[in-house]
């Protein structure tokens, strides 16, 4: 199968609205050899009638696609869905108010294969049918996949978007970029990175770094986007955590000195 380490590539559907679209997305994955489907806060959890509708929508791909649907994992939050992932891509047709590293689906496919070859678990995010991903969801990704489509008609159906990305993964050449990363470096997973970002945000709020204006959200997304793109190792994140602890201890010593 051309896709390397297919189980390490999770297709993540964020707040999907229709079970039928989930079924068609699963069929697209089956067509291209992918198997790991994750759902974040779906409008219709894949049980009972919703699962039956999804199976029916999978159509002729119902065999393998049905297995993907039956094995799909559901999560209450995007953070939980990405906790064990090392690298994340988000799909979006719109430009946002923060810096993004944008690539096409072919380039993204080569990157995903290279990361999987280095032992890094990957995730590709797809937003809900009507609105797409929100800014706070996109900023969790190190890179954004944008499809080169006709001006004024750049929005794809959910299953179409999944199929296009999955097909590019299927078609990408074996070993592309396989030596781009050092497998000896332990990459940080999103769960550990999210813990650090929460501590950083808490400390910045405590010291009054953010202004009391909407600009604060842009500043926060800028910082999170930087760390998402950086490709840090777990040791590097631990080092940053050590910096935060050292600064906190320094502030505590200063406060005690001022109190005395």
Q: Where are the domains of the chain?
A: 6-171, 190-259
Q: pLDDT tens digit string along 194-245?
A: 898 998 988 888 888 888 888 888 888 888 888 888 878 888 888 888 888 8
Q: Which residues pair with 108 in a beta bridge?
A: none
1-15, 111-125, 156-170: range with lowest mean pLDDT: 1-15
Q: Using alpha carbons only, give the angle 226, 227, 233 rounded to the nearest 5 degrees.
A: 145
Confidence check: pLDDT of 178 > 50: no
pLDDT class for 163, splitting at 50, 70, 90? very high
Compute the distance between CA of residue 14 and CA of residue 90 in angstroms, rounded to an integer.
10
Question: pTM value?
Answer: 0.78
User: Which residue, 12, 111, 114, 30, is CA-closest to 67?
Assistant: 30
The strand pair at 36-40 and 87-91 is best described as unpaired
3-state secondary structure of 168: helix
The CATH number of the domain covering residues in 6-171: 3.40.1280.10
Q: Which residue has the tokens 């297709």?
A: 11
The confidence score (pLDDT) of residue 3 equals 44
| Cβ contacts of 219 within 8 Å, gap of 6 or more | 209, 210, 211
Percentage of the chain modeled with pLDDT above 70: 90
């Amino acid at each position: 199968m051309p896709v390397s380490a297919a189980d390490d590539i999770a297709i993540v559907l964020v707040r999907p609205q229709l079970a039928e679209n989930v079924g068609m997305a699963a069929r697209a994955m089956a067509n291209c050899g992918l198997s790991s489907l994750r759902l974040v806060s779906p409008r219709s959890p894949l049980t009972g009638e919703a699962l039956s509708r999804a199976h029916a929508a999978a159509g002729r791909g119902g065999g393998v696609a049905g297995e993907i649907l039956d094995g799909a994992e559901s999560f209450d939050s995007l953070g939980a869905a990405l906790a064990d992932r090392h690298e994340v891509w988000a799909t979006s047709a719109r430009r946002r108010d923060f810096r993004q590293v944008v690539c096409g689906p072919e380039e993204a496919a080569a990157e995903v294969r290279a990361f999987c070859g280095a032992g890094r678990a990957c995730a590709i995010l797809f937003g809900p049918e009507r609105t797409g991903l929100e800014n706070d969801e996109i900023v969790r990704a190190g890179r954004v996949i944008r499809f080169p489509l006709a001006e004024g008609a750049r929005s794809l159906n959910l299953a179409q978007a999944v199929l296009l990305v999955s097909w590019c993964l299927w078609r990408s050449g074996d070993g592309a970029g396989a030596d781009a990363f050092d497998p000896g470096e332990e990459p940080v997973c999103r769960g550990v990175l999210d813990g650090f970002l929460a501590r950083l945000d808490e400390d910045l709020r405590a010291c009054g770094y953010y202004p009391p204006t909407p600009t604060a959200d842009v500043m926060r997304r800028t910082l999170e986007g930087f760390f998402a793109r950086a490709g840090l190792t777990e040791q590097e994140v631990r080092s940053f955590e050590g910096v935060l602890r050292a600064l906190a201890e320094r502030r505590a010593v200063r406060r005690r000195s001022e109190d005395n």
